[in-house]
Amino acid sequence: MSKTVNVKELIQQKDRVSKVRAIVEKMIPTVLFLLASISILTTVGIVSTLVYETFLFFKEVSIIQFFTSPELKPLSRVDPKFSILPLLTGTVLTSLVAMFVAIPIGLTTAIFLSEYASEKVRKLLKPLIEVLAGIPTIVYGFFAFTFVTPLLREFVPGLQATNALSPGIVMGIMIIPLVASLSEDAMNSVPNAMREGAMALGATKLEVTLRVVIPAAISGIIASFVLGISRAIGETMIVTIASGSTKNFTFDITQSMQTMTAYIVEVTSGDAAAGTTAYYSLYAVAFTLFIFTLLMNMFARYISRKYREVY
C-alpha cells in the first residue's frame, strides 16, 4: 500500500528548513567577522602591552639618554645605564652581513632556477634549497658557534669567540631560500613574450636576463630583499648563541656584541627582577624592534606597489 503524502506537512517542513537556513546565513557573517578579528585583536593586545610597559620605562629613564647614550649597563647596582645604541649597532651589523651573503647567492640562485634550469632540474633543486628554511634556528646558532667561528678564526685575525661576523654569515645562509624563492616567483611572472621578443632582436640569454627579466621583476626582487632584512633583524637564537652578550657600541664585526632580540632573551631569562627598570627596558627594546620591522615591511609593500608591473 502506498504511503499517503500530506502536502501541508511538506510545506511546513520546507518552511522550517528555510527558517533554519536563513538564521544560519545571518550568523555566518558574524562568525566570520569574529574569526577575522582574532588577528587584529591579538595585534592590538600586543601593541597595547608594549606601549604601556614602554611608558613605564620612560617614566624612569630619559628618552634622550635611551637613544643617544653609547653605554648600556642595565644590571649595574651602582649606576645603571640604558641605551638602545649598542643593541641597534649589533642588530644592524649582523643583519647587513646576512644580506651581503643572502642577496647575491639568493638572487643568482633565482636567476638560475628561473632562466637557465630545465623543468626537471628546477623541481629537484628548489625543494632542496627550501629545506634550509625548515632547519631550526637554534641548530643554525650552534653551527655558527661550533663550526663557522672556529673556521673563520683561522683566516680572520683578532676574531673573538663570539662576534657579529659568524652569526651574520649563518643568518644569510638561512635567508637564502626566502630571497631565492620570492625572486624566482617574481621572475617567473614575467611573460615569455618579452623574453622571446628580446631574443628575436639578437639579445643573448644573459642580456635578456639582466636587461629585460630583472627590470620587469624588480618590485618582487626588492620586496624579497627587504623581507629578508626584516627576517634577519628579528632573528633570535642564532645571535643569542653566536654573537655574545657584550653590550659594545662598536662597528667592528670581529668583536662580541649583542642584538635587540638577544637582549630580550637575556632579560627574560631571570637576570632582572620583575617590576625593575631593567625589566621594563626589555619592553622599550621590544617596542623599538617592533617599529623597526614594521617600517621595513611597510617599505617592502611600498616598493612592491610602486614598481609593480602588471602584464
**Full DSSP string of 253-298:** TTS----HHHHHHHIIIIIS-TTSHHHHHHHHHHHHHHHHHHHHHH
DSSP assigned state of 4:
P
pLDDT for the residue 171: 92
Together in a domain, 33 and 120: no
| Distance, CA of 271 to CA of 256 (rounded, Å) | 20
| Backbone angles phi and psi of 58, in degrees to 5 | -75, -5
Together in a domain, 94 and 53: no
Q: How far is CA 209 from the centre of its chain?
A: 28
Residues in the chain: 311
Asked if the structure places residue 168 within a domain, the reply is: yes
Neighbour count for residue 258 (Cβ, 10 Å): 25
Asked if the structure places residue 79 within a domain, the reply is: no
Exposure on the CB side of residue 106, measured as CA atoms within 13 A: 33
Asked if the structure places residue 224 within a domain, the reply is: yes
| Distance, CA of 90 to CA of 260 (rounded, Å) | 8
Query: What is the grid cell recorded at 79?
Result: 649606576
Question: Which is nearest to 100 in space by CA: 171, 12, 1, 13?
Answer: 171
pLDDT for the residue 3: 53
pLDDT for the residue 226: 86
Asked if the structure places residue 179 within a domain, the reply is: yes
Angle among Cα 199, 202, 204 to the nearest 5 degrees reads 65
Give yes or no for a contact between 184 and 110, defined as CB atoms under 8 angstroms apart. yes
| Distance, CA of 280 to CA of 80 (rounded, Å) | 13
Helix (H), strand (E) at residue 186: helix 165-188
pLDDT, block means (10 residues), the chain with 311 residues: 59 71 82 87 88 88 85 78 88 92 92 86 83 86 90 86 90 91 87 84 84 85 86 87 84 87 82 76 89 82 70 55
Give yes or no for a contact between 112 and 185, defined as CB atoms under 8 angstroms apart. no
Q: Which domain holds residue 150?
A: 85-306
Asked if the structure places residue 256 within a domain, the reply is: yes
- The b-or-e profile of 126-141 (16+ CB within 10 A means b, else e) is beebeeeeeeebeebb
Together in a domain, 232 and 103: yes
Asked if the structure places residue 142 within a domain, the reply is: yes
pLDDT for the residue 1: 46
Asked if the structure places residue 69 within a domain, the reply is: no
> Could you tell me which residues come within 8 angstroms of residue 49 by beta carbon, excluding any fewer than 6 positions away?
283
Question: Which is nearest to 84 in space by CA: 264, 252, 213?
Answer: 264
Together in a domain, 108 and 43: no
- Per-residue pLDDT tens for 202-222? 888 888 888 888 888 888 888
Together in a domain, 265 and 145: yes
Together in a domain, 30 and 130: no
Together in a domain, 34 and 171: no
Together in a domain, 151 and 197: yes
Angle among Cα 150, 151, 152 to the nearest 5 degrees reads 95
Asked if the structure places residue 72 within a domain, the reply is: no
pLDDT for the residue 270: 67
Query: What is the grid cell recorded at 303?
Result: 616598493
